[in-house]
Amino acid sequence: MTCFAIGHLRQVEMGSGIIAYVEGIDATLAPFQGRFIIHGGEKQMLEGQFQGDLIVIAFPDRQCAEAWYHSPAYQALLPRRTEHSEGEVFLLEGVDADHKATDVLR
């Protein structure tokens, strides 16, 4: 099942650290078949408030997502982001194509 690495980043200090992170992340994703689904962008708020940027990277499954995050290549790059931004990052599995809202009630 598709697994998503989701980042909610705030207070990003655009400078050489973040630029190096952005320039290097694609190479860390390729071996694990990761691809960006959402990478910031302009939001049209419909309800509530949301501060910061949302980043979503899709992987074929949780094993690929975990292997990417813990890979030596990504771990070497990670401080470039964590030292220049605040936020949360987590993995979340998707649902099947035939998923219905009521499935969570079972």
pLDDT at 54: 96
pLDDT score at 51: 92
In the beta sheet, which residues pair with residue 53? Answer: 9
Residue 13 has pLDDT above 90, yes or no: no
Give the span between the Cα atoms of 10 and 8, in whole angstroms.
7
Percent of the chain with pLDDT over 90: 88
Could you tell me where the beta strands, DSSP code E, fall in 11-98?
35-39, 53-59, 86-93
Write down the pLDDT at residue 26: 97
Per-residue confidence (pLDDT) for residue 106, from 0 to 100: 85
CA 8/CA 54 separation, integer angstroms: 5
> Residue 61: is its pLDDT beyond 90?
yes
Question: What domains does the chain contain, in order, with CATH numbers?
Answer: 3-44+51-97 (3.30.70.100)
| Predicted TM-score of the model (pTM) | 0.91
